[in-house]
Structure 1
Amino acid sequence: MIAVNYLAAAALFCVGLHTVLTRRNLVRIVMGLSLMESSTYLLMISLAYRAKSTAPVLLDPPHGGRPEQLAHGNVADPVLQNFCLTAIVIGVAVTAVFLSVVVRVAQHYRTLDADRVRALRG
């Protein structure tokens, strides 16, 4: 089941990379970068998953388990989940900055075509 997540993350990254490399519209390039970013979120969450594990904040073990099992690493990895939440917040901010730059480029050059925008001169 986890291999499906890894394949989905790789496919999502490849779709985003294809979009960035083949499209000339600046908005679509930003969307491709966002897809690539989303694939890393899926990969990080998939790496944090452990089968039959519990959340590390539970005081009692799940039904049928013993407290000693939690001490031996039978918990989900919270560090990668925290990194993923932080990366999502940073990614939203970066995407907003990219889109604001695209808006300014469109206002200045009157086009969204990356080939027509040669140099950013103020």
Structure 2
Amino acid sequence: MILGNYLAAVTLFCLGIYTVLTRRNLLKIVMGMSLMEASTYLFLLSLAYRNGSTAPVLLTPPHGQTPQRLAHGNVADPVLQNFCLTAIVIGVAVTGVFLAVVVRIAQHYRTLDADRVRDMRG
């Protein structure tokens, strides 16, 4: 199962790279970068997974387990999960800034084609 997550992360990243490198529409380029960003989230969360583990924070231990047994590393890695949550918040803000720049470019140049914007420089 975990190998599938790694393959999905690599596939999403490759799709994002392909979109950024082959598309001229600025909106599609931003979407490709968002795909690459989502693939890194999936990869980080997959790294935090441990087989047979439980959640890092529990009010009561699962049936048949003691708190001492859970304290010996049988939980998912909370550091990568927290890092991923922080990265998601930052990524949403950066994507919003990118989209605002694309809107301003579209208003100024009347196009979203990256080649036409580049050609219009004086």
TM-score bin, normalised by smaller chain: over 0.9
- Which stretches in structure 2 are left out of the alignment for 5+ residues? none
Separation in 2, partners of 1:69, 1:119: 65
Which is further off, 38-47 or 60-69?
Answer: 60-69
Amino acid at match of 1:27: L
Does the C-alpha gap of structure 1 residues 120 and 102 become closer, same or farther in structure 2, counting only changes over 3 Å? farther
1:28-47 correspondence to structure 2 within 5 Å: 28-47=28-47
Secondary structure in structure 1 of the residue aligned to 2:28: helix
Name 1:7's counterpart in structure 2.
Answer: 7
- Aligned-residue Cα RMSD (Å) equals 1.6
**Deviation for aligned residue 1:102:** 0.4
Report % sequence identity. Answer: 79
TM-score (norm 1): 0.92
Name 1:57's counterpart in structure 2.
Answer: 57
Name 1:109's counterpart in structure 2.
Answer: 109
| Alignment length (residue pairs) | 121
**Deviation for aligned residue 1:62:** 1.7
The CA deviation string for residues 33-82 of structure 1, in whole angstroms up to 9 with x for no partner, is 00000000101111111111112222533222233321210011111111
Q: Compare the two structures and name the one with the higher helix fraction.
A: 2
Runs ≥4 in structure 1, deviation > 4 angstroms? none
TM-score (norm 2): 0.92
Does the C-alpha gap of structure 1 residues 112 and 68 become closer, same or farther in structure 2, counting only changes over 3 Å? same
Name 1:75's counterpart in structure 2.
Answer: 75
Separation in 2, partners of 1:10, 1:120: 36
Separation in 2, partners of 1:28, 1:13: 15
Separation in 1, partners of 2:11, 2:61: 36
Separation in 2, partners of 1:51, 1:68: 18
Separation in 2, partners of 1:9, 1:17: 12
Name 1:27's counterpart in structure 2.
Answer: 27
**Deviation for aligned residue 1:118:** 1.7
Amino acid at match of 2:47: L
**Deviation for aligned residue 1:119:** 7.4
